[in-house]
Structure 1
Amino acid sequence: MITNAWYSASLTGQFIQVPALPLWKRNKANPPHNKRSVGDFYEALACQYLTGQGLLLLERNYQCQRGEVDLIMQDPQQQIVFVEVKYRQSERFGGAHYALTPSKQQKLLITAQHWLLQRGYDPHQTAYRFDYVAINGKQAIDWLTNVIAEG
């Protein structure tokens, strides 16, 4: 659960308004019961960061039989941007930067093509790309653009 309070945070040298920590982050005795609430918080944080960079949110958590895309956005040049968000509390084993595996990339590609077809876009004629947002335990955001060659 995310509270309605907001605070300013410095992310990559910029100050933006981000939602206050969810109650479970402030009360260590009552952690979340599932990873979904953690994922929702960091996806919201990434979405707010990207909209602050000029992207427009089209859809969150698009799912089909083959996979899920965390954020679907559009950049100022009208290119569709499929965004995968990964949070890792620790940099151990490479942290969030190494969480985008080849199998996950393949699922993202298939899911993105499904989204495009469902919305009436031709995947061969539509400009799109895949971005990756890695967030470490200190909530430092690293936005990597065009991380998958297809698209």
Structure 2
Amino acid sequence: MPLHRRPTGRRVRRRIPSDDLGRLQAGAPGPRLDARRLGELGELAARLWLHDQSWIILDANWRCRYGELDIVALTRHHSIVFVEVKTRRSTLQGSPQEAVHTSKQSNIRRTATLWLQRYGRRISHVGIRFDVITCVVHDGAVELQHIVEAF
């Protein structure tokens, strides 16, 4: 299993509509995005997806000594979700979620603990969880897969 643990939640696939894709790629230099810009595109697509699900984005790209949290969001059911976003151009070298290995998961947990210590008391919530959103950008489209309770 790519995430080293069977996800307990559901997987949701979504193809970004062309008008949303246009908003995502506004100002993007053609099909040859550099790695940083590709990652930003994936994170923007993930935030749009979460916003469409009526989630509130609490933080994005939060950094500490252990690493970075791509997205911290609050669900409609008042759970705080730490979302790792992985973006790729293709799956020829493996699926994006395979990059969320055990040590990466550990760093995300440590980083989330620090985030919760700093901000968690201010936010009314009933629990936390860790999700992964994968984005594959190809042929002018972004395909998202949301893995709920990934680890």
TM-score (norm 1): 0.76
Larger radius of gyration: 1
Q: Which amino acid aligns with 1:46?
A: A
Give the SS at the match of 2:149: coil
Equivalent position of 2:37 in the other structure: 37
Q: Take 1:49 and 1:27, find their aligned partners in 2: how far apart are those partners?
A: 22
| Residues 20 and 73 of structure 1, relative CA distance in 2, 3 Å threshold | closer
Give the SS at the match of 2:93: helix
Q: Which amino acid aligns with 2:25?
A: L
2:91 is aligned with 1:87? no
Give the SS at the match of 2:68: strand
Q: Which runs of 4+ in 1 moved over 6 A?
A: none
Tell me the CA shift for residue 26 of structure 1: 1.5
| Cα deviation 1:57-79 (Å, max 9, x = unaligned) | 00110100011010000001111
TM-score (norm 2): 0.76
Higher RCO (CA-CA < 8 Å; seq separation 6+): 2
| Cα deviation 1:11-53 (Å, max 9, x = unaligned) | 726747342425444264xx54xx3222112101110111101
Percent of aligned pairs sharing the same letter: 26
Q: Take 1:12 and 1:109, find their aligned partners in 2: how far apart are those partners?
A: 27
Give the SS at the match of 1:93: coil
Equivalent position of 1:112 in the other structure: 112
Tell me the CA shift for residue 54 of structure 1: 1.8
The Cα RMSD (Å) is: 2.4
User: Where does structure 1 lack aligned partners over 5 or more consecutive residues?
Assistant: 1-10
Tell me the CA shift for residue 56 of structure 1: 0.8
| Cα deviation 1:84-111 (Å, max 9, x = unaligned) | 0001112123221311111110010000
Equivalent position of 1:142 in the other structure: 145
Q: Does the CA contact (< 8 Å) of 1:89 and 1:95 recur in 2?
A: no
